[in-house]
Every structure is written in C-alpha cells, then in structure tokens.
C-alpha cells in the first residue's frame, strides 16, 4: 500500500488551467497539490499561444496574477490578411466592442503563475506521473503518483481537477460512458516555427496561398512565431531553415509586400488542427478544465483563454463548496462553461475555413478556394462582418 498524503484538492497538470486554479484556491485558503509530469524547466520554456483576451486579462488582474503581463505584455489591435486579392488590415481594436488582445508568451505566463503559487505556499510536484485515480465517484477520491525518484505515493482529497490535456490521466480515468467526447479532425496540419528574428510586421498576418496557409505572429522584440500549412504526417526535421524561409517568402508574397526578417529556426513541430469537447465536464468528484475539457485548434488563439475562464469558474465553485458548504456551483459547472466553449469552437472552425483552402487544381479544390476568396472579400468590405469578427476574435 503506497504512502498516503492528504490535501483538499488534487490538481493534475501545471499548465495555465491548473496554475490559475491552484492560485485561486490558495488565495481562498484551500489546500491543494499540483502534480505535473514534466520538469519545471520544461514547463517554463514550453512555447504555446501568446494571445490573451480582455476577459482573461481582467480575471488574472482581479486575482493578483497579472503583474508580469501588465508590465511586459504588448497590446495588439490589428491583423492583416494577404492573398491574391492583395492585402487588407482590420483594426479590430476599433471595431465591435473596441477591445484589443494582449500578447504575452504562454511560457512567460506559466513562469509567473508558478512563482506566484509557490509564493502563496503552494505545493507543486514536478516530474511526477499520475499512474491511476481511484474513488472519483465517491467521497474520497485519490490519485496515485510516481515521483521523479521513482517514489510512489497516493494523494487523497475531496476533489480532483483534471487539467492535463486530452491525453492525460484525468480523461483516462473516466469510465466508459461517463462523458461524450465530441471530436472534429479538421484535416489541416501546421508546421509551427519559432524563429530568432524580430517581427517583420506590426500586425498579426494571415497569408492565404494556393500552396497553403502561412502565418506571422510577433512574440517578443527578437522572436517571431510562424506557421506553414503542410501535409499531415510531415516530418518537421525535413524542413531545413533554408526551406522554411523560401516557403515563407513565397506564401507571404514578399516580392509584393516586402522582405521578412530572417534568423535561425529555434523550434519546429507539427500541429494537427483537431477539436474536442467533453460533455459533461465532470464525473463524480473529478472535474475537467482547460484542454482536458475542451481541445481547440490554434487557428483563433482561444486555448489559453478557455483555460483561464474554466479555471476561474471551477475555482469559484470549489471555494463555495469547501468554504461555504454550497455545492450548487459544482453541480452547474458544465452548464456554466459549455456555452462559452462551444462559441469559441464555432469561431475557431470559421477561422479554419477562412484561412485554409484545399491545395491542388482539381475542380472541387478550385471551387472551394473561390468560396474562401469570397469570405475574405466579405470580411474586407462589410462592416457588419468586421464587427462580428472583432467581437469573436477578442473572445467576447
């Protein structure tokens, strides 16, 4: 029998969802332990989305978790679209609700949240694998852990929060039929690139090309994120620096719009654009948050924002239950989160169709690319479409 340790809430996963949840629980005086499979250095360097919506910034600020992003984050209110139609910009900060996004690389946010959690007396177990969950449908759920030194122990608590993604232990612990997973494989793969190069343009730029999509997103003054649409199953290492920059120049139409600032490729990986939603987002005393509850494609930068918002909702419900004895928030957790999640999924799906036309010269491919062109022209020319885009793009 493994050694048993007691806490109030066991949080699995030290991404944005788990760390926001842990910080809010600690602020409420609730004891919790976060277990994370990866080492701290890996988690604090793992590059992910960098766009935070106004609602997410407000939540972080209200809970004392925004000092870093307020000091170092960059406001972004413009995006650009390039294609055979030329280029047009949308100043979404002046459209819709007139709000902007804050660019703050996720690894910076995660680093801030870890430091804050530890400063609040929190307990994070890095390099720890969850090997099983027990009793999640009863009053005393437990999580079996394998530590970095091969030590085994069991964490028991009143609740478990699964914040460890679609391939994590929380979803594996759900018995058959406990939740329905609604999934969509969009048939699109991105080569995600991090370049040691200053941004080439101020606006986030989406390039539509018959060879496939390309994207440019500033991260810092010296690092830029690029994306290239590639065939599914592509080996990232087959894309040498020279090949990457040649393809980016072609799809970004540098002969027409000006050169890119180039530099060494620091990171290259492929991302399949997939979506999933678990309904309900709980089973017994196990609650799902972040990507474990809803995986969303990166096409509209909603993942980190959904993580913050689901964590906020779950933290409030757990606090009501553990401090005030009121479990109504936990009972209604899924119903409170799912409308926002499905709204974000719908806009992400719309963005995928806007940016990705089929490659090739077949009749269907040409027809669908004409529809894609019509969508872009509508976005360029119609104020009502621009307002709708702006309100959804910033996460209202």
Containing structural domain, residue 156: 3-50+105-179+280-348
pTM across the whole model = 0.93
What does the alpha-carbon distance between residue 184 and residue 296 come to, in Å, rounded to a whole number? 10
Note the pLDDT tens digit of each residue in 220-274: 889 899 999 999 999 999 999 999 999 999 999 999 999 999 999 999 999 999 9
**Residues forming the active site:** 76, 206, 298, 302, 393
What does the alpha-carbon distance between residue 165 and residue 39 come to, in Å, rounded to a whole number? 16
Over residues 324-337, the mean pLDDT reads 97
Residue 131 lies in a domain: yes
Look at residue 11 and tell me whether its pLDDT is greater than 90. yes
Q: Which long-range contacts (CB under 8 A, 24 or more apart) does 125-129 make?
A: 125/33, 125/34, 125/35, 125/36, 126/14, 126/36, 126/38, 126/39, 126/40, 126/43, 127/36, 127/37, 127/38, 127/39, 128/35, 128/36, 128/37, 129/37
**Domains of the chain: total:** 1
Residue 189 lies in a domain: no
Look at residue 359 and tell me whether its pLDDT is greater than 80. no
pLDDT confidence bin for 396, thresholds 50/70/90: low
What does the mean pLDDT of the chain come to? 94
Model pLDDT, residue 1: 57
Model pLDDT, residue 299: 84
Model pLDDT, residue 220: 82
What does the alpha-carbon distance between residue 100 and residue 77 come to, in Å, rounded to a whole number? 5
Look at residue 47 and tell me whether its pLDDT is greater than 80. no
Greater confidence (16 vs 297) lies with 16
Percent of the chain scoring above 90 in pLDDT: 87
Look at residue 60 and tell me whether its pLDDT is greater than 60. yes
Over residues 290-314, the mean pLDDT reads 93
CATH number at residue 128: 3.50.50.60
The length of the chain, given as a count of residues: 396
Residue 114 lies in a domain: yes
Residue 22 lies in a domain: yes
What does the alpha-carbon distance between residue 329 and residue 322 come to, in Å, rounded to a whole number? 11
Residue 223 lies in a domain: no
pLDDT confidence bin for 218, thresholds 50/70/90: confident
Residue 40 lies in a domain: yes
Percent of the chain scoring above 70 in pLDDT: 99
Model pLDDT, residue 5: 94
Residue 240 lies in a domain: no
Look at residue 185 and tell me whether its pLDDT is greater than 60. yes
Model pLDDT, residue 8: 98
Torsion-angle region of residue 341: left (phi > 0), alpha (psi -120 to 50) or beta?
alpha
pLDDT confidence bin for 365, thresholds 50/70/90: confident
| Residue 310: cis peptide before it, omega within 30 degrees of 0 | no
């Amino acid at each position: 029998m493994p050694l048993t340790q007691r806490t109030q809430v066991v949080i699995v996963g030290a991404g944005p969802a788990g760390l926001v949840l842990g910080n809010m629980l600690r602020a409420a005086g609730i004891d919790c332990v976060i277990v994370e499979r990866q080492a701290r250095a890996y988690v604090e360097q793992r590059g992910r989305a960098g766009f935070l919506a106004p609602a997410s910034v407000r939540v972080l600020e209200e809970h004392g978790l925004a000092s870093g992003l307020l000091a170092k984050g960059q406001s972004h209110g413009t995006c650009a679209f390039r294609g055979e139609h030329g280029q047009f910009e949308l100043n979404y900060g002046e459209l819709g609700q007139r709000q902007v996004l804050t660019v703050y690389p996720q690894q910076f946010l995660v680093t801030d949240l870890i430091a804050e959690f530890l400063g609040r007396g929190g307990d994070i177990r890095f390099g720890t694998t969850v090997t099983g969950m027990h009793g999640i449908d009863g009053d005393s759920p437990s999580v079996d852990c394998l530590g970095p030194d091969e030590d085994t122990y069991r964490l028991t608590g009143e609740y478990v929060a699964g914040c460890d993604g679609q391939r994590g232990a929380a979803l594996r612990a759900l018995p058959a039929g406990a939740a329905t997973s609604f999934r969509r494989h969009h048939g699109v793969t991105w080569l995600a690139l991090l370049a040691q190069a200053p941004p080439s343009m101020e606006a986030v730029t989406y390039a539509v090309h018959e060879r496939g999509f390309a994207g440019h997103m500033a991260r810092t003054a010296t690092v830029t994120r690029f994306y290239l649409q590639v065939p599914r199953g592509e080996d990232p290492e087959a894309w040498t620096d020279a090949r990457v920059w040649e393809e980016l120049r072609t799809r970004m139409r540098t002969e027409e719009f000006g050169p890119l600032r180039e530099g060494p490729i620091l990171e290259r990986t492929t991302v399949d654009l997939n979506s999933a939603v678990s309904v309900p987002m709980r089973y017994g005393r196990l609650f799902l948050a972040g990507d474990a509850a809803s995986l969303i494609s990166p096409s509209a930068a909603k993942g980190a924002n959904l993580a913050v918002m689901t964590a906020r909702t779950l933290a409030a419900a757990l606090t009501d239950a553990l401090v005030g004895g009121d479990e109504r928030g936990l009972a209604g957790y899924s119903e409170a989160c799912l409308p926002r999640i499905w709204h974000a999924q719908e806009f992400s799906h719309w963005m995928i169709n806007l940016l990705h036309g089929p490659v090739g010269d077949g009749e269907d491919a040409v027809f669908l690319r004409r529809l894609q062109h019509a969508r872009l022209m509508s976005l360029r020319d119609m104020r009502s479409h621009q307002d709708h885009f702006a309100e959804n793009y910033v996460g209202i």
